[in-house]
A = this chain, B = another copy of it.
Amino acid sequence: MPRARHVEKHFTAGQTVRDIVIGMADGLTVPFALAAGLSGAVSSTAIIVTAGLAEIAAGSIAMGLGGYLAAKSDAEHYESERKREKREVAQIPEEEREEVARVFRGYGLSASEIQPIVEALSQRPQQWIDFMMRFELGLEEPDPKRALSSALTIGGAYIAGGLVPLAPYMLLHDRFTALWFSIAVTLIALVVFGYVKGRLTTAKPIRSALQTALTGSAAAGAAFLIARAIS
């Protein structure tokens, strides 16, 4: 469907930006929290780095591969629902006509106003199916080719995000010094990330910045307290 000129004001982030946001939000948060938690329990920064890198490997694959398989499933789900609609339009057209009518009754249109729409769609089976997919089932056609690049973008963003909180532990030997540097660089990264994310998606960038910083801090605080309590 072509977009109206002034519609561009309704900005929604592009798919790649969304994938980066998804991967980096978790990548900045979970390895940060894990490393902070372990700082309260183990004395060796080598173990913290090992655990952090293992987590980054696990998390990036879980998010990337999980996202890839989910996108593939979505594409197949769309295809199978589309085949079903195609069959229904051919085999039980009266019920499908009634469904079109029901969509527009929901918008307050009268029977005599609805009749021409139903007629028009039922003369165009292909567009009728498209209409049912979107307006009855609320399904958008997924792009199966995006699954791979989306998986790599999410996984890569997770790795990039996860290396930020881990870098101080790689460079410094004292775990508490590393912890404070990790908190500092990660909070800065979370605030910048949240701000940019807010600019790109919701137009409340300062609140977005505070929210990502809060989420990261809460996760790290809980991990620290739990690791401390059991060690």
Chain A contacts to B: CB under 8 angstroms: 1-2, 4, 6-7, 9-10, 25-26, 29-30, 32-34, 37-38, 41-42, 46-47, 49-51, 53-55, 57-59, 61-63, 65-66, 69, 73, 76-77, 80-81, 84, 88, 92, 95, 98-99, 102-104, 106-110, 113, 116-117, 119-121, 124, 126-128, 130-131, 134-138, 140, 201-204, 208, 211, 214-216, 218-220, 222-227, 230-231
**This chain's copy number in the assembly:** 2
With both beta carbons as reference points, the residue of chain B lying nearest to A32 in the complex is identified as B58
Q: A130-B107, A223-B58 are in contact. Are A113 and B120 (CB under 8 A)?
A: yes
Q: A2-B102, A42-B47 are in contact. Are A215 and B61 (CB under 8 A)?
A: yes
- Kindly list chain B residues whose C-beta atoms are within 8 Å of the C-beta of A57: 33, 37, 219, 222-223, 225-226
Q: A61-B219, A124-B107 are in contact. Are A6 and B202 (CB under 8 A)?
A: no
Q: Complex Cα distance A7/B135, Å? A: 13
* Secondary structure dominating the interface of A: helix
Q: Complex Cα distance A214/B65, Å? A: 9
A-B contact pairs, 28 of them (CB 8 A): A1-B102, A2-B106, A10-B84, A34-B34, A34-B51, A37-B58, A41-B47, A41-B50, A46-B231, A47-B47, A50-B230, A50-B231, A54-B226, A55-B55, A57-B219, A57-B222, A65-B218, A65-B219, A69-B211, A69-B215, A73-B201, A73-B202, A73-B208, A107-B124, A107-B131, A109-B117, A113-B120, A138-B140
Asked if A30 and B55 make an inter-chain contact with CB atoms under 8 angstroms apart, the answer reads yes
- Kindly list chain B residues whose C-beta atoms are within 8 Å of the C-beta of A108: 124, 126-127
- Kindly list chain B residues whose C-beta atoms are within 8 Å of the C-beta of A29: 58, 62, 66
- Kindly list chain B residues whose C-beta atoms are within 8 Å of the C-beta of A73: 201-202, 204, 208
Asked if A120 and B109 make an inter-chain contact with CB atoms under 8 angstroms apart, the answer reads yes
- Kindly list chain B residues whose C-beta atoms are within 8 Å of the C-beta of A218: 61, 65
Known: A34-B54, A37-B58. 6 other contacts (CB 8 A): A1-B103, A37-B51, A59-B219, A73-B204, A76-B204, A107-B127
Contact of A117 among B69, B117, B219 (CB under 8 A): B117
